[in-house]
Chains A and B, each alone.
Chain A
Amino acid sequence: DAGVTQSPTHLIKTRGQQVTLRCSPKSGHDTVSWYQQALGQGPQFIFQYYEEEERQRGNFPDRFSGHQFPNYSSELNVNALLLGDSALYLCASRDIRASSYEQYFGPGTRLTVT
């Protein structure tokens, strides 16, 4: 049973560029959330997707957008990259019908903006 997978593993971009990160949820999961983890900090919630719609959003600018596909996989897009966007981007999934609220995380994509 494959867990949450993310691609790419690492990415280096230049300021002002755009980036797309990808996530496949754990089998049987229908909800995907994205988090940004800066060095030495805990993960910060970006947004959550369910039924192909953004359902909740954290305190991130509109440069951060996403998408969920019919197979529940998801993309995170960041436009006009800033140096401060350098971080580990984590995708997490869960079954929205589950009685427990644990989320399963992927290994993350390390984004470096130069």
Chain B
Amino acid sequence: DQQVKQNSPSLSVQEGRISILNCDYTNSMFDYFLWYKKYPAEGPTFLISISSIKDKNEDGRFTVFLNKSAKHLSLHIVPSQPGDSAVYFCAATLRETSGSRLTFGEGTQLTVNP
């Protein structure tokens, strides 16, 4: 039972344009969501998070949007840079479990072309 899904295995964008990565979840109990970036031979690196009490969180070039009714979140990267090329994972958790159990999607490979 895949509770967090990223339906696009890959995404290719031009440098300077917007990258939009999408994520859907099925468990309505999830109340905290995170995005991680992973380069080959490295562990995932935290990017940005959002609580279910918000619908938007921004940090520099990264913005996460949450649509609770649709059980959908997205990560926008503006402007995209070649160094952003990596695998992006969305993850969800329950704050009542102290957030220590993350449920991940399958990941989306982002390629930013110069």
Contact = CB atoms under 8 A, between A and B. Distances in A.
The answer to whether A and B come from one shared complex is yes
Interface of A: 4, 31, 33, 35, 40-45, 48, 50, 55-56, 58, 90, 92, 94, 96, 100-108
Contacts of A108: 43
Given A42-B104, A50-B100, 11 more contacts: A35-B104, A40-B106, A44-B104, A58-B101, A101-B93, A102-B49, A103-B46, A104-B46, A105-B43, A105-B45, A107-B41
A97 to B, nearest CB: 9
Nearest to A44: B104
A42 B49 contact: no
23 contacts: A33-B101, A35-B102, A35-B104, A41-B107, A42-B4, A42-B6, A42-B104, A43-B89, A43-B102, A44-B104, A45-B102, A56-B100, A94-B100, A96-B100, A100-B49, A101-B32, A101-B100, A102-B46, A103-B99, A105-B43, A106-B43, A107-B42, A108-B43
Interface residues of B, number: 27
B39 to A, nearest CB: 10
A55 B101 CA distance: 10
A58 B104 CA distance: 13
A43 B44 contact: yes
B100 A4 contact: no
Q: 9 smallest A-B Cβ distances: which pairs? A: A101-B99, A42-B104, A105-B43, A102-B46, A48-B100, A105-B44, A107-B43, A43-B104, A45-B101
Contacts of A94: 99-100
A103 B49 CA distance: 11
Contact of A103 (B41, B102, B107): B102
B44 A90 contact: yes
B6 to A, nearest CB: 8
A90 B43 contact: yes
B98 interface: yes
Contacts of A56: 97, 100-101
